Homo-oligomer: A and B are copies of this chain.
Amino acid sequence: MRYVYLRAFCTFVMIHLGAALDNGLARTPQMGWNSWAKFGCGVSEQAVLSMAQAIVETGLDKFGYQYVVIDDCWHGPSRNRSTGAPLADPTLFPNGIKKLADEIHGLGLKLGLYSSAGSMTCARRFGSLGYEEIDAQTYAEWGIDYLKYDNCYNEGQSGTPLISYNRYRRMFDALNATGRPILYSMCNWGEDQPWNWASTIANSWRVSGDLTDNFGRYDDRCPCTSMLDCKLPGFYCSVARIIDFAAPLGSKAGTGGWNDLDILEVGNGGMTNDEYITHFSMWSILKSPLLLGNDLTSMSQDTLDIITNDAIIALNQDPTNSAANRVFSRLIEGGGSLSLWVGSLVNGTTVVAIMNTSSKHQRLHLSFDEIFIDWLPARTFSYRVFDLWQKTPSKAGETLDFSQWTNSPIWGGD
């Protein structure tokens, strides 16, 4: 996979349709770390603090990673029996969530929590359906900055956009009522087309079933071929599959409301370095939230290099807030595809990505006519070209030769 980063001497004027929630949060896609992949139901105060400290020590916070999100299983065995308020597990979180939030805030970071818009969470802890107000209020009192809100055990409350909207709207209203800015991360797995209705109530919404740490293997447990009307989002979805799902949804992402492609798997061991580069790059240009899922206390240099590539992160956080569009996707004989992605950045800059998911090297002749499909004059300008992974500019008149790599680099520039 390669990227071309082009500086055009004009300004694109594009009115994009997908813009969103005005709670002042997620002006660009949120960045941080989530506990699930590493700790699952073994998450604890100690685990969370160690990761938060690692964020500061490795300097990840300087790159924008600020949310530390506790996923499922922070819960005690039951709610407070008299008030109905949620309670954290006293063993895993002996000092309580509020104390933990203070410590996280003390590190200059923000704390996220998890619940489900159902009668139980996915791991069968108490859910928030019917408890939206008291839960939101308690989260606010605890100093929570972020809520991931899942879809398990939803008691049949899905099937039309309106049914799903109403269910997720209840928590949105409850969060708003607290007065505390809490980033609202919807996770209904793309059911009932959230990209069409979530942008006025949420800061991000998952677009598919769960990502797995694999680049392209088909898995029966992620059975839909498209998310446009998928009735079983499932899980074990590969990077390539989720990119395919997200391709038509780019215009739905915008300031304050993002298509969430799920937690990053970079550094978890199931892909090659080139595949992780592709994974991270595509999540960036598709404007997905960037939530790390790896163990931050023991990262390889390769992993650190990927997640701290400031040029790639800049694509994700670019203030134009325009997701890249897939211009074409060509099937390759023997499996996989070769696709071209183009996105608009500030100051008339364009990002270009070429993704090869086949197992073979591919040679591609690419013309400006193919890159600039929406605004024709852009075809006539001159450009400086930068590789955002090699970090070397192209020379004048140089041919960009994409034939040496299966999955990887990128050209980048100012």
Q: Which residues of A contact B (CB under 8 A)?
A: 13, 15, 17, 19, 40-41, 119-120, 122-124, 152-166, 169, 192-193, 195-197, 199-200, 217, 219-221, 223-224, 226, 228-232, 234-236, 247-251, 269-270, 325-327, 329, 373-374, 376
Residue in B120, B169, B196, B373 whose beta carbon sits within 8 Å of that of A158 in the complex: B196
Question: Which residues of the partner chain B approach A164 to less than 8 Å between Cβ atoms?
Answer: 156
Known: A119-B200, A248-B221. A40 touches B15 (CB 8 A): yes
Does B158 lie within 8 Å of A162, measured CB to CB? yes
Does A156 lie within 8 Å of B152, measured CB to CB? no
Quote the shortest CB–CB distance from A368 to chain B (angstroms).
15
Q: Report the nearest B residue to A14, measured CB to CB.
A: B40
Question: Which residues of the partner chain B approach A123 to less than 8 Å between Cβ atoms?
Answer: 15
Does B161 lie within 8 Å of A159, measured CB to CB? yes
Quote the shortest CB–CB distance from A254 to chain B (angstroms).
9
Give the complex CA separation of A219 and B269 in angstroms.
Answer: 35
Residue in B166, B236, B247 whose beta carbon sits within 8 Å of that of A220 in the complex: B247
Question: Which residues of the partner chain B approach A17 to less than 8 Å between Cβ atoms?
Answer: 122, 152, 235
Beyond contacts A220-B326, A228-B232: 6 other A-B pairs, Cβ-Cβ < 8 A, are A156-B162, A156-B164, A157-B161, A159-B192, A160-B163, A220-B329
Quote the shortest CB–CB distance from A229 to chain B (angstroms).
5
Q: Report the nearest B residue to A217, measured CB to CB.
A: B373
Give the complex CA separation of A247 and B376 in angstroms.
Answer: 30
Q: Report the nearest B residue to A249, measured CB to CB.
A: B232
Question: Which residues of the partner chain B approach A219 to less than 8 Å between Cβ atoms?
Answer: 373
Does B376 lie within 8 Å of A269, measured CB to CB? yes
Give the complex CA separation of A200 and B199 in angstroms.
Answer: 30
Question: Which residues of the partner chain B approach A247 to less than 8 Å between Cβ atoms?
Answer: 220, 223
Give the complex CA separation of A242 and B221 in angstroms.
Answer: 16
Residue in B154, B197, B236 whose beta carbon sits within 8 Å of that of A197 in the complex: B154
Question: Which residues of the partner chain B approach A236 to less than 8 Å between Cβ atoms?
Answer: 374
Question: Which residues of the partner chain B approach A374 to less than 8 Å between Cβ atoms?
Answer: 236
Question: Which residues of the partner chain B approach A119 to less than 8 Å between Cβ atoms?
Answer: 200
Interface centre among A17, A123, A192, A232 (most CB of B within 10 A): A232
Known: A153-B199, A153-B200, A200-B120. A193 touches B232 (CB 8 A): yes
Quote the shortest CB–CB distance from A136 to chain B (angstroms).
20
Give the complex CA separation of A122 and B157 in angstroms.
Answer: 28
Give the complex CA separation of A166 and B158 in angstroms.
Answer: 12
Question: Which residues of the partner chain B approach A224 to less than 8 Å between Cβ atoms?
Answer: 228
Does A155 lie within 8 Å of B223, measured CB to CB? no
Q: Report the nearest B residue to A248, measured CB to CB.
A: B223
Give the complex CA separation of A162 and B251 in angstroms.
Answer: 27
Does A250 lie within 8 Å of B269, measured CB to CB? no
Does B153 lie within 8 Å of A162, measured CB to CB? no
Top 4 A-B pairs ranked by shortest CB distance? A156-B165, A159-B160, A156-B197, A223-B248
Q: Report the nearest B residue to A118, measured CB to CB.
A: B200
Question: Which residues of the partner chain B approach A40 to less than 8 Å between Cβ atoms?
Answer: 13, 15
Interface centre among A166, A195, A248 (most CB of B within 10 A): A248
Give the complex CA separation of A15 and B37 in angstroms.
Answer: 11
Interchain Cβ contacts under 8 Å between A and B, 25 examples: A13-B40, A15-B41, A15-B122, A17-B122, A17-B152, A154-B196, A154-B197, A156-B196, A156-B197, A157-B161, A159-B162, A159-B163, A160-B163, A162-B163, A193-B232, A217-B373, A220-B247, A220-B326, A220-B327, A221-B248, A223-B226, A228-B230, A232-B249, A234-B248, A234-B251
Quote the shortest CB–CB distance from A307 to chain B (angstroms).
22
Question: Which residues of the partner chain B approach A250 to less than 8 Å between Cβ atoms?
Answer: 221
Residue in B160, B199, B251, B270 whose beta carbon sits within 8 Å of that of A160 in the complex: B160
Give the complex CA separation of A161 and B156 in angstroms.
Answer: 5
